[in-house]
Chain A
Amino acid sequence: MEDLSRIIRSHPFVHGLDDAKIKFLTGCAANVRFGADKFLVREGSDANASFLIRSGRVVLEIDVPGRGAKQIQTVEEGEVLGWSWLYPPYRWQFDARAVTPVRAIQFDGACLRNKCEADHDLGYEIVKRLLYLVHQRLERTRLQLLDVYRSDR
């Protein structure tokens, strides 16, 4: 437990959170590993987790019938994968596959939801950080959407 708290504390996502809250969160956490090409999550399945990526690279994929899997974005060390546990129907929007071996902290979604409801201060801190990630991801997605390197003719 002590070790897990220390590992969580070193991840950028929780930067600025006080020790008491980190300890509280640790109750929902587990240390996980994925081998290269293994799936962390599958599209459509229950989204009951969030991952703080400690090392390695994860690729978000969406399978398009007839065209195969489309690789949309990568999630790197120090980033967060998944916040679908926040909102019903709590289902994953994509497949997430480890490109390289991946080490991560996996948070149980239901546990996180309950703790955030019980402690609104913690809830605010979590949601504030997640909102920033979404904001950043949205800006990057818009630039990706613009397909600026495409040749038009």
Chain B
Amino acid sequence: MDSLVNLSLDPMTPRFLEVRRVIRETADTVTLQLHDPEARTFKPGQFNMLYLFGGGEVAISMSGEPATPSKLVHTIRAVGSVTRPLADLRRGAMVGVRGPFGSAWPLEEAQRRGCDLLLLAGGIGLAPLRPVIYTVHRNRDRYGRMTILYGARNPADLLYDKEVAGWQQPRTHLRTIVDHGDLAWRGRIGVITELLAEASFDPLETIALMCGPEVMMRFAERELSRRGMPRENIFISLERNMKCALGFCGHCMMAGSFMCKDGPVFRLSDIAPFFGVREL
């Protein structure tokens, strides 16, 4: 009997991919473009575990174009002991990658139902939603109207600003708002729920995809509920401590769900009794 684990098959072993491009998005956020010779396909909403040699792993959502998976794109905010060194990497550095893991945004459901899409992105939450925007724009006639509402802390924290302007298209409506303005900022100052209150959408024929701080999503969910959107139509992306991403280590649980297998994207009606319970 083979007494050794086949390393290349064991899901706790990373593959090492080369950093081809580093884009500094904001003061604390960087986008890494990795080259994946295997071109592993992924679905928008999924994530990889990125490994810094000897330094640990962190779960980062896919942020790139699913149609070109050999270009693996991750937007990383430098907030911890692994993300800070990852955000400092240069071209040519090697990053360990495990994945893709997790559940996906309901794009197939959107197509099947022929409904409209309402994307609510808060802060770094725009990164996991970007692959949705790419997918919809690449197959525009397969999807309904798309409204993108994006909130950030201040104008300097807005992600992908060169690209975002190009996202305004026929049947795609984009609105941005910041918590704090500055003298040069000519746009809205306030919270994303204001944009939501003004957005025009049919609450029964639209599905909402939300990604951002949990508090933001709780406030937004109340607004959506005020507008009559059923919880079955609301999808959120949650975050918990991720270690193995395989459902073995037990860290990413919230009540009966594992973020790594049942999430990170959840249909709100599936987890409604647990979403918002303190310290669950």
Q: Do A and B interact directly, with beta carbons closer than 8 Å? A: yes
Per-position binary interface string of chain B over residues 41-80, scored 1 when its CB falls under 8 Å from any chain A CB and 0 otherwise: 0000000000000000000000000000000000001011
A148 in contact with B182 given A59-B189, A73-B190 (CB within 8 Å): no
Contacts of B267 in A (CB 8 A): none
A144 in contact with B181 given A74-B189, A149-B213 (CB within 8 Å): no
Q: Does B193 contact A (CB under 8 A)?
A: yes
Q: Does B161 contact A (CB under 8 A)?
A: no
Q: Does B35 contact A (CB under 8 A)?
A: no
> Are the C-beta atoms of B179 and A151 separated by less than 8 Å?
no
Inter-chain contact total with CB atoms closer than 8 Å: 68
> Are the C-beta atoms of B181 and A71 separated by less than 8 Å?
yes
CB within 8 A of A74: which of B79, B124, B181? B181
Contacts of A86 in B (CB 8 A): none
Per-position binary interface string of chain A over residues 49-74, scored 1 when its CB falls under 8 Å from any chain B CB and 0 otherwise: 00000000101100000001111111
CB within 8 A of A143: which of B77, B80, B189, B215? B215
Q: How far is the CA of A41 from the CA of B186 in the complex (A)?
A: 18
Q: Does B153 contact A (CB under 8 A)?
A: yes
> Are the C-beta atoms of B80 and A149 separated by less than 8 Å?
no
Q: Does A76 contact B (CB under 8 A)?
A: yes
> Are the C-beta atoms of A149 and B189 separated by less than 8 Å?
no
CB within 8 A of A144: which of B80, B124, B188, B190? B190
Distance in angstroms from A71 CB to nearest chain B CB is 3
Distance in angstroms from B124 CB to nearest chain A CB is 8
> Are the C-beta atoms of B80 and A57 separated by less than 8 Å?
no
Distance in angstroms from B78 CB to nearest chain A CB is 8
Q: Does A150 contact B (CB under 8 A)?
A: yes
> Are the C-beta atoms of B183 and A68 separated by less than 8 Å?
yes
> Are the C-beta atoms of B77 and A71 separated by less than 8 Å?
no
Q: Does B180 contact A (CB under 8 A)?
A: yes
> Are the C-beta atoms of B152 and A143 separated by less than 8 Å?
no
16 extra A-B contacts, CB within 8 A, seeds A71-B180, A149-B157:
A57-B186, A59-B189, A68-B183, A69-B183, A72-B189, A76-B188, A139-B219, A140-B190, A140-B191, A143-B215, A144-B190, A148-B123, A148-B212, A149-B179, A151-B28, A153-B79
A residues with a Cβ closer than 8 A to B are: 57, 59-60, 68-74, 76, 99-100, 136, 139-140, 143-144, 146-153
B residues with a Cβ closer than 8 A to A are: 28, 77, 79-80, 122-124, 151-153, 157, 179-183, 185-191, 193-194, 197, 212-213, 215-216, 219
- 22 CB-based A-B contacts, threshold 8 Å: A57-B188, A59-B189, A71-B182, A71-B189, A73-B190, A74-B187, A74-B189, A139-B219, A140-B193, A143-B193, A143-B216, A144-B190, A144-B191, A146-B215, A147-B153, A147-B179, A148-B122, A148-B213, A149-B123, A149-B151, A149-B157, A149-B213
